[in-house]
Chain A
Amino acid sequence: EAGVAQSPRYKIIEKRQSVAFWCNPISGHATLYWYQQILGQGPKLLIQFQNNGVVDDSQLPKDRFSAERLKGVDSTLKIQPAKLEDSAVYLCASSLTVGLRFFGPGTRLTVL
């Protein structure tokens, strides 16, 4: 079974630029999550989708971050404009059963 796929793996941008990340969850997983992991910290949930609807986006900085999951499969996370403090690893995860999440390899974003 293929795992959660993410691209790109690495991205370097300058502040105020825009960036987008892509995630393809495990086939059949209705729930998809985006996490932000700042260096030295545990991952923090940004947004959770159930199929193509948003379940929880309470910690998503909506003035600059946006996410969508069209057709309830792939998802994109966008940052516009980026700030220095957005430098982090962005992890995508998907889930079929209660509480059991499978994580992708992450996208490491560096904002200069």
Chain B
Amino acid sequence: AQKVTQAQTEISVVEKEDVTLDCVYETRDTTYYLFWYKQPPSGELVFLIRRNSFDEQNEISGRYSWNFQKSTSSFNFTITASQVVDSAVYFCALSEARTGNTGKLIFGQGTTLQVKP
């Protein structure tokens, strides 16, 4: 069965600190997608990144970076020099990748990040 585990329920940091959000996944599929979404207090889920299982290159986008390691089934998310606006709930998610089907998206429990000024 597919499963996503975000062991960190809540993280609190002070502005400008770096913070890493952990994500561990389980799947028997050889082809799959991994995602990170941000859910600010307004409630809307904001897409951050999609990574397919064949692409293990790490990615950097501004202050955000992602580390995908198939060997440990992890897809961790790092925010560098955190800002108060980064305060939100962050979800890691896993999707099957069937041809012609967008697949079921399985979410982790979420990590609440609080960035204090």
Contact = CB atoms under 8 A, between A and B. Distances in A.
Interface of A: 31, 33, 40-45, 48, 50, 55-56, 89, 91, 93, 95, 97-106, 108
A42 B47 contact: no
A91 B104 contact: no
Interface of B: 4, 33, 35, 37, 42-47, 50, 52, 91, 93, 95, 97, 101-105, 107-110
Nearest to A103: B45
Contacts of A95: 102
Contacts of B4: 42
Given A41-B110, A42-B93, A99 B43 contact: no
Contacts of A105: 42-44
A99 to B, nearest CB: 4
Contacts, number: 62
Contact of A45 (B37, B44, B101, B105): B105
A99 B42 contact: no
Contacts of B37: 103
Contact of B45 (A31, A43, A45): A43
Given A42-B93, A43-B107, A44-B107, A99 B44 contact: no
Given A41-B109, A42-B93, A106 B104 contact: no
Given A42-B108, A101-B105, 12 more contacts: A31-B102, A33-B105, A40-B109, A41-B110, A42-B110, A45-B105, A55-B101, A56-B104, A98-B103, A101-B102, A103-B45, A105-B43
Contacts of B93: 42
B104 A48 contact: yes
A5 B97 CA distance: 26
Pick the 9 closest A-B CB pairs, nearest first.
A42-B107, A103-B45, A99-B33, A105-B44, A99-B95, A106-B43, A95-B102, A31-B102, A43-B107
A105 B91 CA distance: 16
Looking at A40, A89, A101, A105, the one whose CB has the most chain B CB atoms below 10 A away is: A101
Contacts of B108: 42
Looking at B42, B102, B103, the one whose CB has the most chain A CB atoms below 10 A away is: B102
